[in-house]
Structures are given as structure tokens and as C-alpha cells.
Structure 1
Amino acid sequence: MTDLGIWAVPLAILAGAIRVSTPFLFVSLGEVLTERSGRINLGLEGTLVFGAMSGYAVAYLTGSPWAGVLAAAVAGALFGLVHGLICSLPRVNDIAIGIAMMILGMGLAFYFGKPFVQPVAPDLPAIPLGWWSDLPQVQAALQVNVLFLIGAAAAFAMWWMFRATRVGLIIRVVGDSTDAARAMGLRPALIRTLATAAGGAFAGVGGAYLSLYYPGSWNEGISSGQGLMAVALVIFARWNPVACFGAALLFGGAGALGPALQSVGVSEGYYLYYAAPYVLTLGVLIATSSPHRAMTGAPGELSITK
């Protein structure tokens, strides 16, 4: 990107932010849906990895990347359903079950995914938004995957759902007060289980993006902790789906910082640049740790608020 001069770095960061942010976006939307119902799911890291493996395997076996995305969503929903059913039992801790599901998901993905490390599955399509430029660097940077656009639309749709639909109102009531939900004739355990399953489906789609587009392969280190970082992203976004979209771009830009600087020849501190997303996560957790404002906007039934 040296032909672009000073514009090479911001263009590379923008392109990288779009690519890197997509898994953050889907996992954070899934976690928002789960947490707004009053349950926290720390197992989404395992769901993300298992979704990546499932999507890649099905895409390879069927020759269709969209079949892989569907399989990843189903796998994620099953993990979420199991998590929700277990958490519905008496005296069960959401956080402990989430950690157990994370380990289970990663273990199953590594076990069943070994035959698919070498085979090449078809990639998801991208939309060439750089058609207006003659520079190949710009054209390559503005290849936007369809799942990013779907995720952006889903963020606004979820925001509207929480504000203006009966389904959104039910989820919010259950998340804010179990007693009020029961007084309205609702079944909080069932609603939370369904919300957790739907949240798992979102995380599974995020995993399919990793294996079928960027980086576009299946291996055991594919997620790099993105599922766990998304939980911090949700707190940073104050449980707002639209804010999650912006926060995902911010985290994605941090993840793209290293490759962007490398593209213009800056190679010193290579590992430090690649640590930017983790530093940002730590900074977000510190910045939101104030006892007066950290849980602003959090659902009342969420275990971390008690």
C-alpha cells in the first residue's frame, strides 16, 4: 500500500476493522441477547470455535459456504440450548457452567476437526466496494464480506426489537425482574433458555466467518480469545446492540493495527501491535470498573450485578 502514501495506514486499518470486527459483532450480539434475558454466557468462546469447525467441515463436505454458515448456527444454537437447560436447574451458577461449556466446545472442536485441518473449503463471497478505484490496494481493502453487512443489519434490527416489539419487551422484563415476569404469566426459565440458544447461534455464525472467510481456514488457534473479549465488549457497549456494532469496529481496528503498520514497513514491536485488542480489552474492563457507573444499563437479573 506504499503507493497511497499517508493514506495507506488508515485505509488498511479501516479494511482490517471490517474484516476483524465481524466475529466480535456476531458474538457480542449473541451475548447481548443472552444477557438482556438475565443470563451471562461465558461459554461463547467454545461456541465460536465449535461453530468455526462445524461450518468449515460442512462447507467442505457440501461445497457450499452458506451450508457451512447454517451448520455453524445450528451447532451454536445447540450449545446455547444445552447451556440454557443446565442453567435452568436449581442452584446452578451461570459463570461456572459457561466456563465448562467453553472447555467442552473447544475440546469437541479440536477432536472432530482434526480431519479438516488440511482440506480446503469454499470461501464466503465478498462484495467489491472498491470498484470506483483503479488502485488494486483500494480494491482489495474494500472487499466487504456479506456476513459483515448481515451483522450490521442484525444489530439495528435487534435494537429495534428491544425497543418496539413484544418479543423485545418480554426479554427485557425477564432480564430485569423474574418476579415481575412471573406476575405477567411469563416463564423466565424457558425464555432465558431460548435467548441463550439464539445467542449461541449468533456466536456460531461468527465462528463460520473465521473459518470460511478471514482467516479462511480451520485450525485449533483460530479464535484467539475473541469469544471472551466479546463479553467485555458488551459491557463496554452497555448492552446496546447498535453500540456493540461500533465497539466491534473499534476492537476490529485494534486487531488490524499490526498488519496495517506492517503493510507500510513498520516492523519493530511486531508482537506489541498484535497485542492491541487484548490491551484494549483490559483498558475497557478497567474503565468500566467504577462502582457508580460500571453496570449502568445492565439487566437486573444478571448475575454479575448481584
Structure 2
Amino acid sequence: MDATEIGLWGVPLAILGGAIRVSTPFIFVSLGEAITERSGRINLGLEGTLVFGAMSAYAVAVMTGSPWLGLLAAAFAGLCFGLFHGWICKFPKVNDIAIGIALMLFGSGLAFFFGKPFIQPSAPDLPAIPFGAWSDIPQVQAALDVNVLFLIGAALAAFLWWAFRNTRAGLILRVVGDSSDAARAMGLNPNTVRLAATGVGGALAGIGGAYLSLYYPGSWTEGISSGQGLMAVALVIFARWNPLGCFAAALLFGGAGALGPALQSVGVTQGYYLFYAAPYILTLVIMIATSSPSRSLAGAPGELSITK
């Protein structure tokens, strides 16, 4: 069946499928950044972590033949980047935003250097669940072919939303993020908590990178991330540091990213490429809408540098 035969129904169908595919790395990176920022630290280096995670996953999957080992390698690489970021930022008068930008460039450069031998080889893909197997229409099947990482990301968002409110670890994270003095009064070490939170955030960003190289688009190239690590920071602010909000916002970003390909799939051949810029325009609009010199961001951790 040709792509245009299902008519205008192909647009929402393509947007649905695209939102699921495109949103998955956003989900993991934004959840990781939500954990990090809840502790009172911002990590702008997630773009570099995402790219290096994508390269690590692809390289290990090529060498071992296992996408799951590639996924673990990406998570470990992200953990190392996060711990390194957290360790540097514990020193006095070190700016976490400046360090994040430096690590973003460092991670990207490192990935490009070590990833050159893996541009041509083919790696095995992460598995997907064919929720559209009931249909005979290829477009429906493709739209409802859901990667397992999307489902894991949805479950993780719900778990973190619950954990932030109902567990001791969640309380510790929120106390450290809101007031270092209050945390010390409770006998907590803010640097240790932030180090752990930044490490976990980096590991989740690495998993997001593994999805890019091992499923969608499913290859390793130097421009694979397209700025998704940086856009995830805006997404967290838009979601007001709420994990469920991060999941919903990731779907919104994913749907925006799928708009151009959706129009192309139903035969729109002129101007559709302008819609490829939708995620970046949405990021800009969100940053402008959430910025105000006269009021603080609702729900923002008190120790976060962008709120001071």
C-alpha cells in the first residue's frame, strides 16, 4: 500500500508513531536532568553525554553482537560523565553551567574521535513490540511498533513521580535541592547527594543516546543527537521538574519532531521541511514563556543556579 493511500488519516497516524519514536531519548534525558536539577545542580553537558552514549552503545553492540550490552555500556559511560561533572562541581566557586558546556564539547569531541571506525559497520537493533500486528496496513504497523525503552521510560516517569513524594531518597533529594543549609542541619552531605544525582542523570542520558544509535534512527553518525540533550533541559523547566510532566512534554516534543515527516508521508512535497524546525521553535517559545525577571519559576529547586 502506498503511503498516500490512507489519506489524511496518515497525518495523525504518522505523528503518533513519530511521537513515540522521537520522544524516547527526550524521556530518558529529561528524567535524568530532572533528578539532577532536583538536587540543586544543572547539567548542560547532557548533549555530550547523549552523543558519547550513542557511540558507546553502537560500538559495543557491533563488537559483541548484543544491543543490550551496548545499552549497558552507554549507561556506564553516562554514569562516568555524570560523576565527573558532579565531582568537579563540588569545588568552591566552580560554575556548574560553565563546566556543563565544557563537558558537552568534550563528550561530543571524544565520541567523534573514537566513533570514526564504527560509522560503516552495522549493529543489531534494540527490540520493539509490534502493537500494530492486528492490522494489515503497513503504516499502522509501523506507527504502533513500540520500542521497549519507550515503555521502560513511561514506567520510570511514573515511578520517579511517586518516589519523589513517598520515599526517603526522594525527600533527601528535595531537601538538598531546596536548601543546602537545611540538608546539613539534617546531617546530610549536599555534595554527596548531588554527586549521586548527577551520576544517575548521566546514566539515563547515556541510555537515551543508546536508543538513538540502536533503534531510531539506528545508526552512528556524528550529527545523531541534533541538540536533543540541550532541548531536554528546556523540557525539564517546562515540565516544572515533574517526572510525569517530563514524559508528557517529551511526547509533545516528539510529536513536533514528527510533523515534517508526517506531512511528507501523505504527499506534501512543498514547505514540509519547514516543520522539521518545529522542535527548535518549540524550545525557543518555551524558554521565552517560562522566563520572567519579576517571578521565580514555580516548582524550581531553591539551590538551582538558574533560579538565583
Asked if TM exceeds 0.5, the reply is yes
Question: Aligned residue for 2:65?
Answer: 63
Which of the residues 41, 52, 59 maps onto 1:50?
52
**Structure 2: how far apart are the matches of 1:270 and 1:223?**
21
Task: Name the counterpart of 2:211.
Answer: 209
* Alignment equivalent of 2:130, drawn from 120, 128, 131: 128
Q: Are the structure 2 counterparts of residues 288 and 90 from structure 1 closer, same or farther at C-alpha, using a change threshold of 3 Å? A: same
Instruction: Give the partner amino acid of 1:272.
Output: L
Give the whole-Å Cα distance in 1 for the aligned partners of 2:135 and 2:45. 43
CA contact (8 A) 2:263 2:272 kept: no
SS at match of 1:271: helix
In structure 2, what is the Cα distance between the partners aligned to 1:294 and 1:128?
A: 44
Out of 237, 240, 243, which is 1:238 matched to? 240
Q: State the AA in 2 paired with 1:109.
A: A
Partner of 2:186: 184
Give runs of ≥4 in structure 1 deviating > 4 Å. none
Question: After superposition, what is the alpha-carbon deviation per residue over 1:191-242, rounded to whole angstroms, capped at 9, x for unaligned?
Answer: 0001000000000000000000000000000000000000000000000000
Cα offset, 1:6, TM superposition: 2.0
Of the candidates 161, 166, 169, which is equivalent to residue 168 of structure 2?
Answer: 166
Alignment-derived partner of residue 262 in structure 1: 264
Note if contact 1:288-1:294 (Cα within 8 Å) is conserved in structure 2: no
Deviations 1:157-203 (A, max 9, x none): 11111010000000000000000000000010010001000000000
Q: Distance in 2 between matches of 1:120 and 1:270?
A: 30
Distance in 2, matches of 1:294 and 1:231, equals: 17
* Distance (Å, rounded) in 2 between the aligned partners of 1:91 and 1:169: 27
TM-score between the two structures when normalised by the length of structure 2? 0.98
Correspondences of 1:214-293 after superposition (within 5 Å): 214-291=216-293
Deviation at 1:75, TM superposition (A): 0.1
Aligned to 1:34: 36
Q: Which residue of 1 aligns with 2:150?
A: 148
What is the Cα deviation at residue 292 of structure 1?
A: 5.0
Match for residue 8 of structure 1?
A: 10
Find the aligned partners of 1:281 and 1:28 in 2 and give their Cα distance. 13
Amino acid at match of 2:107: G
CA-based RMSD: 0.9
Is 1:73 equivalent to 2:71 in the alignment? no
CA distance in 1, matches of 2:143, 2:184: 51
Shift of 1:101: 0.4
Alpha-carbon deviation of 1:290?
A: 2.8
- Superposition TM-score, scaled by structure 1 size: 0.99
Q: In the alignment, residue 23 of structure 2 is paired with which amino acid? A: S
Report the counterpart of residue 23 of structure 2 in structure 1. Answer: 21
Q: Which sections of structure 1, spanning at least 5 residues, go unmatched?
A: none
| Structure 1 position 293, deviation (Å) | 5.2
1:243-293: CA deviation from partner (whole Å, max 9, x where unpaired): 000000000000000000000111212431111100000111111113455
- Counterpart in 1 of 2:107? 105
* 2:8–2:266 CA contact under 8 A, matched in 1: no
